[in-house]
A and B are shown apart, each in its own frame.
Chain A
Amino acid sequence: MPASSESITLTGDLHARPAGALAVAAGRFAASVSVSAGSKTVDAKSVLGVMGLGATSGQVVTVSADGPDAEEAVAALIAIVSEATRVGGLGAAAVRSDAAADSRARAVGAS
């Protein structure tokens, strides 16, 4: 099984939305994927685990994968961490309002 690993220094905190984006992306790979920050290592496919890392700006985060698509998984997740924690990245207001409009539309459809 190929294994792959890469580290990145966070430029923003790993809040709920970036943690969600990371876990959604990780779940699409067959490889097992983990994320480490400080002394903690969690399953990247578990959003609650990633949130529980409490990784903050300036911390080094390491993404490791083991499995047939390990290399692609690491590249994709590093890109997401980089984008999602950047100021103006996934945590920005545009994403927030899109998702809110989406859920309002669903709520209307449900009632």
Chain B
Amino acid sequence: MSQVAPRVGIVLVSHSVRLAEGTADLAGQVSGGTVRVLAAGGTEDGELGTSAEKVARAVASAEAGAGVLVLPDLGSAVLTVRAMLEDMPGARVVLADAPFVEGAVAATVTAAAGADLKAVATAAEEAWHARKL
């Protein structure tokens, strides 16, 4: 792995611990497991909600040297992420406006291919246009 250029990391912020972990698992498997995909779901005590501290820890763990894309599950998680970003002024972090599952999978696969943070964010946001049927 030391020969491979660092990949963009992905942080999945959900109100639910299990939703974040399940989505991280799915995105990790579809992309082949070469990208840091961190789940930041629930409050500190595992209840439904979000935690700025959890998000901050996940962002730190996801950073491999190429920046981090943060995906919130619902609009109200955005407030938590924004508050967290204000406390990390130097961080190379982008908050994506994307559907949670599709955005996570698209972003992780794009990161696995070695794309930069901007391209990974674009892949997540383009997921709005992907039809299933």
Within 8 A of A (CB), among B87-133: 102, 105-106, 109-110, 112-115, 123, 126-127, 130-132
Determine whether A17 belongs to the interface, using a CB cutoff of 8 Å to chain B: yes
Contact with A along B20-39 (1 / 0, CB 8 A): 01001110111111001111
Q: Are A109 and B61 in contact (CB under 8 A)?
A: yes
The smallest beta-carbon distance between B5 and chain A, in angstroms, is: 11
Is the beta-carbon distance between A20 and B31 smaller than 8 angstroms?
yes
Are B24 and A107 closer than 8 Å at their CB atoms? yes
Nearest A-chain residue to B99, judged by Cβ: A48
Q: How many B residues touch the partner, as a band?
A: 20 to 34
When A48-B102, A109-B61 are in contact, do A17 and B29 touch as well, CB less than 8 Å? yes
Size class of A's contact patch? 20 to 34
Interface presence of A110 (CB below 8 A): yes
A99 touches B113 (CB 8 A): no
Main SS at interface, chain A = helix
Q: Is B58 an interface residue (CB 8 A)?
A: yes
B30 neighbours in A (Cβ, 8 Å): 16-17, 19-20, 47
Partner of B33, one of A48, A103, A109: A103
Q: Which 10 residue pairs are nearest across A and B when measured between Cβ atoms?
A: A27-B113, A20-B30, A48-B130, A47-B109, A99-B29, A103-B28, A102-B33, A99-B33, A24-B112, A110-B38
Apart from A99-B32, A106-B37, 6 more pairs, CB < 8 Å? A16-B29, A24-B109, A103-B28, A103-B29, A103-B37, A107-B24
